[in-house]
Structure 1
């Protein structure tokens, strides 16, 4: 077990409890052997009810994608997440659990505890064609791959009511970055990339304090609250052109409204 030294709440890094942002159900964060994190269903399941390829188990505070010989196993939350379109024929044994989570999502939505995200459509409109679902950001001169659009990146701080903050990092009246078209190069120089250029949300034009706030993934209110603990993990992943080249978008919108032109920074970030 490892305790985060910078967390006032002294939360354990292993089995960090939170809620899924896509469906509102409880999840548990575990660290993998490759130092990455995975979201697991918070309860153990019988190995007879879970297909062999979906088994996870925890050993020495780390989670492993395999069985350990015990009659119980863990399950990745993404397999049964109601917000994900999954072919039921791939794992028919998990259909019942997925329906239970779907019903719980409906109950949370009706009670006002959880607000589902707007449904995404496979056919995008021309105006949204260059709004990547997982944009690339340049932050503190390092390129990161975000888990959601720029204007939807949520603060990870804990509120006074011990809930996850609902504010976004990008604010209506705050400073915003600029979209740029940069060269998509590979540091390894081993493979030829599918694109020569990619759209990038550039933040080094902002003051250092603002870039640090983005890196910590906090809204302005919780950026100043040093005693507020993080209730979720940040969404940043180091961008690798070879691994993430599918998220490299090769063009920008023809016209981008800048915040100083009277436009909303949220709308400018969407373009």
Structure 2
């Protein structure tokens, strides 16, 4: 007597097994944001608490607290609301709103105007959570290490270089050769390809241009990775942080582009006054 093995599409008693079809996250064609919901969640590098990243109307990212808070306990300048995956800096008329994580982050100095509001209680909860994460070894606060030029003869590449795209200076999140594409692959994970193509950028020295009219910085030059000589479409690809494979595709993003508008007053620690030394290839001895 041979054993009867039921097919994989049925239970042990032969009854049919109804499996719901597997659905993947997709972005609507009319959506102003290309970021998937799975790629919005992150951790604050200063306190370790959860944050939600959203693009603003100008394309720059903002970290919001993952939960809504009562509108009455938040000042008008700190009220944000979401619409079609985009964050807007005002409330939408409801009783609830979103608040930037910087207003609650234990790493930031507390606001004296919120000492007796529900936000102070929420801030203390985040502080206790940060202490618990540090004590258990699950989180290590990031130490600030300026990316300035070292001593003579040790001109290494900057960890966060200034990149010039479409005549605008941006501060990159990592070295040039480590920038990864943010697009989603057919396997539903993030693309592992890098951004540089056959025509790379060039390091040049440009004068520092303060965002404000006050001359608070010395009139010096800084090293900039210039991409302005590339074609317009290639510069758009760099700003969208896409590889050559996903440059013209409709694939969604699994992460926000790591560009931050460069401000010489806020990012003075990352200004380099000398050009990086190019890597030399030494031939093998025969």
Asked if Structure 1 and Structure 2 have the same fold, meaning a TM-score greater than 0.5 normalized by the shorter chain, the answer is yes
Q: In the aligned structure 2, how far is the partner of 1:161 from the partner of 1:81?
A: 35
1:230 lines up with 2:253 in the alignment? yes
Give the RMSD, CA atoms, in angstroms. 4.9
Q: For the residues of structure 1 that align with 2:238 and 2:255, how far apart are their CA atoms?
A: 15
Q: 1:213: Cα distance to partner?
A: 3.2
Structure 2 CA distance for partners of 1:69 and 1:9, relative to 1, 3 Å: closer
What is the CA distance between 1:178 and its match in structure 2? Answer: 2.8
3-state SS, counterpart of residue 181 of structure 1: strand
In the aligned structure 1, how far is the partner of 2:163 from the partner of 2:278?
17
> Which one of 79, 91, 105 corresponds to residue 56 of structure 1?
79
List gaps (5 residues or longer) in structure 1: 1-7, 264-271
Contact 1:56 / 1:74 at 8 angstroms: preserved in 2? yes
* 1:138 counterpart residue number: 164
In the superposition, the TM-score normalised over structure 2's length comes to: 0.56
Q: Give the distance between the partners of 2:53 and 2:62, measured in 1 at CA.
A: 8
Q: Kindly indicate whether residue 65 of structure 2 is the aligned counterpart of residue 41 of structure 1.
A: yes
> In 1, distance between residues paired with 2:187 and 2:51?
17
Which digits, 9 at most, give the CA deviation of each residue in 1:190-231, with x for residues without a partner?
A: 6557324222112245576654432321235544x7242223
Report how far residue 145 of structure 1 moved.
1.4
User: Which of the numbers 271, 274, 279 marks the counterpart of 1:252?
Assistant: 274
Larger radius of gyration: 2
1:169 to 187, 195, 202: 195
Distance 1:137 1:125 in 2: 16
**8 Å CA contact 2:195, 2:238 repeated in 1:** yes
- Which runs of no fewer than 5 residues in structure 2 stay unpaired? 1-25, 115-119
Change in CA separation of 1:101 and 1:122 when aligned onto 2, cut-off 3 Å: farther
Question: Is the 1:150–1:170 Cα contact (8 Å) retained in structure 2?
Answer: no
Mapping of residues 77-226 of structure 1, within 5 Å: 77-80=101-104, 85-87=107-109, 92-99=120-127, 102=130, 119-121=143-145, 126=150, 135-140=161-166, 142-151=167-176, 153-165=179-191, 168-170=194-196, 176-184=200-208, 192=215, 194=217, 195-204=219-228, 211-223=235-247, 226=249
**3-state SS of 2:56 partner:** strand
Displacement after TM superposition at 1:129 (Å): 9.0
Q: Distance in 1 between matches of 2:83 and 2:277?
A: 51
1:90-125 deviation line (CA, Å, top 9, x unaligned) = 66433344258759988xx97xxxx98964347978
In structure 2, relative to structure 1, the CA distance for the partners of 1:42 and 1:187 (3 Å cut) is closer
| SS of equivalent residue, structure 1 residue 126 | coil
Equivalent pairs, count = 235
Whole-Å separation in 1 of the counterparts to 2:104 and 2:224: 32
**Whole-angstrom distance in 1 between the partners of 2:273 and 2:99:** 38
Pair 165,81 (structure 1): closer, same or farther in 2 beyond 3 Å: farther
